[in-house]
């Protein structure tokens, strides 16, 4: 236990290597397996999460060592702050450092005039879920992930009207979607374009698919958004993707809402990943 309240410091004032090392230590025993990033990948991770280090905070002990951290991503289009990620080093768990950071995050968001704060948490992470719900966060959406190995997900020729668009057009589409769709997860919005050094965007009938190909045998869906209840356009986009890359496995991380494309993934036979996230919201 801490003998005194931790000192909170803006993450921008920390040495980048120290914050990166603290992240690695905090997530070494993560629920879905060790989550470590090489130093070269750290800036890209912060960009994908939309992190503002000036708004982010770390809790330090009396010797100036990091106990826990709270990385914050502002969402000005929604009038919210997002808790991009929060973690405590193993030795600091139960010390009160993480709750102190969470309380500070909520208070600063309210003082900054934000309408709400949001976060995603794995539903199976019971300890974290209790902490967040105890601070007034309530579930808004389930966020699932999917996997389709090569040979799964029936292919179909690209339908008339499917078009590939450049990064600028894809970002404009996602920016408009973020303003239009309540509770659109940050990572499938404009930030998705930072998820890979190269990505491809397809549009069809009011839907958009953004994907990357890490290697010849794998595809990653960075963003799939189809607001239509039938999700016919999402289905056609996924089938055209399978036709283009018949041998590649397809993976969708646990950030996919059922009503924005997840139903199409399920109808096409993609396997649902065993762990899923909840998008939580708390009014300020």
Helices (H) and strands (E) in the chain, counts: 7, 13
What are residue 87's DSSP bridge partners? 69
Which residue stretches of 49-201 are H helix?
97-111, 126-134, 167-180
Residue 61's pLDDT is 93
- CA dist 44 and 42 (Å) reads 5
pTM: 0.92
What does the alpha-carbon distance between residue 42 and residue 192 come to, in Å, rounded to a whole number? 16
Mean pLDDT by 10 residues, the chain (284 residues): 76 96 90 77 89 97 94 95 95 91 98 98 94 97 95 87 96 95 94 82 97 92 97 97 94 97 96 97 97
Q: 118, 80 in Cβ contact below 8 A?
A: yes
- Give the pLDDT confidence score for residue 1 in this predicted structure: 46
Contact 219, 251 (CB under 8 A): yes
Three-state DSSP class for residue 147: strand
Gap between the Cα atoms of 36 and 34, Å rounded:
6
Given a contact cutoff of 8 angstroms between Cβ atoms, the answer to whether 25 and 90 are in contact is yes
pLDDT of residue 193: 86
Here the tokens at position 226 are 């189809």
Q: State residue 219's pLDDT score.
A: 95
Domains and CATH numbers, the chain: 7-114 (3.40.630.30), 144-275 (3.40.630.30)
């Amino acid at each position: 236990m801490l003998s005194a309240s931790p000192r909170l410091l803006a993450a921008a004032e920390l040495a980048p290597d120290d914050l990166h090392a603290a992240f690695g230590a905090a997530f070494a025993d993560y629920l879905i397996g060790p989550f470590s990033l090489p130093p070269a990948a750290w800036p890209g991770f912060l960009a994908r999460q939309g992190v503002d280090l000036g708004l982010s905070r770390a809790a330090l002990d009396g010797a100036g060592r990091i106990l826990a951290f709270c990385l914050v991503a502002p969402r000005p289009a929604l009038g919210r702050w997002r808790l991009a990620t929060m973690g405590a080093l193993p030795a600091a768990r139960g010390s009160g450092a993480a709750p102190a950071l969470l309380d500070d995050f909520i208070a600063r968001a309210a003082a900054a005039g934000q309408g709400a704060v949001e976060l995603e948490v794995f539903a199976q992470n019971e300890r974290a879920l209790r902490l967040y719900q105890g601070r007034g966060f309530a579930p808004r959406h389930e966020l699932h992930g999917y996997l389709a190995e090569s040979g799964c997900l029936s292919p179909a020729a690209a339908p008339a009207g499917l078009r590939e668009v450049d990064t600028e057009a894809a970002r404009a589409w996602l920016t408009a979607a973020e303003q239009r769709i309540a509770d659109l997860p940050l990572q499938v919005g404009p930030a998705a374009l930072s998820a890979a050094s190269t990505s491809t965007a397809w549009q069809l009938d009011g839907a958009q698919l953004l994907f990357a190909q890490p290697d010849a045998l794998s595809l990653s869906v960075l963003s799939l958004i189809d607001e239509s209840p039938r999700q016919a356009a999402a289905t056609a986009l996924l089938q055209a993707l399978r036709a283009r890359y018949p041998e590649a496995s397809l993976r969708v991380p646990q950030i996919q809402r059922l009503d924005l494309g997840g139903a199409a993934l399920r109808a096409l036979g993609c396997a649902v990943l065993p762990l899923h996230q909840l998008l939580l919201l708390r009014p300020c």
